[in-house]
Structure 1
């Protein structure tokens, strides 16, 4: 269970095989924005061009355009940072802010009971996207952030989202699974398939990791009607992890969020599908 988010220190690969100059402007704009991550929040032009794979002259023109519309901001030292306009726009995302607003009161109750990390995530293609988390100041160390991405195969929320994903998504992830890229107890693709079946039967995912920290997690699905739209989890230190106590609490919280989603008619928000 690797509770890491984002691609720390690495250059994010551009989706698709076309060179930057042959891409539509909107795709190049997202390539530029994807150069930022939790370890690279402010980038000089040279690094922005290198990490995005866009030639320096083109990166400068595009960055200036993004600054003009507020998607980027430029610091006094010339470095670029993500602009507040993106935060304003992202707050309108129904699978993020809308889901979060419904889930937050229930997450706060779970947090006060556990005093650990409480996570809420949705699936985006073959990754889990963290939309909210609550953490005690003295909670065990982990690496993740709201807006960060988590592997589907090595996190409690990821296993839930993968277990209820379309069969084609499951088959593709299972086929590409490699030992060491998942939960400590999942060694082979066959193990992963069995684990996903157990998750569906029990409506609960249990996971653990020993590196870099000894952590355990328990996660449950959040539904809007019959559709699993999110996953909720608690992450805590493995020594003394009270599986029996956390499991029912997480499942009950996820079901409470599900009932509220259905009551408030949030299906009309149009949950995105891959």
Structure 2
């Protein structure tokens, strides 16, 4: 989905956006594409935007952006404040809840994540693959003052690295430099691969029917995440998953 190692960095280091190019964005052509482009303007660092910023970020002229925003406001996909600013609307929350319910695993998975967080003291998250990105569906943030912070819904390119990216790539048929280690050990470990001072270890999650669901990752600041601590975290994750009816190992003969 998907803040990092210092308390003050909780907001400042949330998933960074690409540096804007010198050229204005090319406006999307279709009406649906334009609406989606408007929704994608919002992120953790831009929860409220005036019309001017929406137009600039999408490449649309203000009149077109205003007309489409009106449609999105009426459908409750976007909320309009009295001062004219716009923000994601309540209908998106409903759609997000439906998306999570399609997996029908949250009621079982959330207690497992909470148990792992309490045992390890670190942030724990569950990611699934969506195209070329990983998306955080569930998480339990560490209560440590110095911690890595994860937001539900955070999207991170699989190519950006991180242990859960390697696990997701491996078990969905994509290449990863950690393929041999994952096949041998059943998990992936990374250290400052994507974010400085952050280390993580990820374990695959399989349902009772053998289907691959995603990856559970334990994330913390590197000084606390020695190789020994990470291997211990793997055992904690596996036990917590098993207690909820999941498996961290593919079934025999699993082909994906």
Q: Report TM bin, short chain.
A: 0.7 to 0.9
Which ranges in structure 1 are unaligned for 5 or more consecutive residues? 172-191, 261-274
Provide the C-alpha distance between the structure 2 equivalents of 1:133 and 1:94, rounded to a whole number of angstroms.
13
Which of 162, 186, 189 pairs up with 2:169? 162
How far off is 1:244 after superposition?
2.9
Note if contact 1:131-1:147 (Cα within 8 Å) is conserved in structure 2: yes
Q: Which residue of 2 aligns with 1:175?
A: none
Which ranges in structure 2 are unaligned for 5 or more consecutive residues? 5-12, 248-256
Q: Which residue of 1 aligns with 2:222?
A: 238
How far off is 1:49 after superposition?
1.3
- When structure 1 is superposed on structure 2, of 96-105 and 33-42 the one drifting more is 96-105
CA 40–18 in structure 1, closer or farther in 2 if over 3 Å, else same:
closer
* Secondary structure of the structure 2 residue equivalent to 1:140: coil
TM-score by length of 2: 0.79
Q: Does 2:156 correspond to 1:150? A: yes
Q: Does 2:184 correspond to 1:201? A: yes
CA 96–52 in structure 1, closer or farther in 2 if over 3 Å, else same:
farther
Provide the C-alpha distance between the structure 1 equivalents of 2:103 and 2:192, rounded to a whole number of angstroms.
30
* Secondary structure of the structure 1 residue equivalent to 2:235: helix
Q: Does 2:247 correspond to 1:252? A: no
Over aligned residue pairs, what C-alpha RMSD do you find? 2.9
Which of 70, 74, 83 pairs up with 1:68? 74
Deviation by residue 1:75-115 (Cα, 9 ceiling, x = unmatched): 12110000111101210114677332220111111111112
How far off is 1:9 after superposition?
6.7
Note if contact 2:142-2:149 (Cα within 8 Å) is conserved in structure 1: no
Provide the C-alpha distance between the structure 2 equivalents of 1:165 and 1:42, rounded to a whole number of angstroms.
36
Q: Which residue of 2 aligns with 1:263?
A: none
Which of 86, 90, 98 pairs up with 1:80? 86
CA 120–31 in structure 1, closer or farther in 2 if over 3 Å, else same:
same
Q: Which residue of 1 aligns with 2:205?
A: 222
CA 127–139 in structure 1, closer or farther in 2 if over 3 Å, else same:
farther
TM-score by length of 1: 0.74
Tell me the number of residue pairs that the alignment of Structure 1 and Structure 2 aligns: 230
Provide the C-alpha distance between the structure 2 equivalents of 1:70 and 1:46, rounded to a whole number of angstroms.
20
CA 32–6 in structure 1, closer or farther in 2 if over 3 Å, else same:
farther
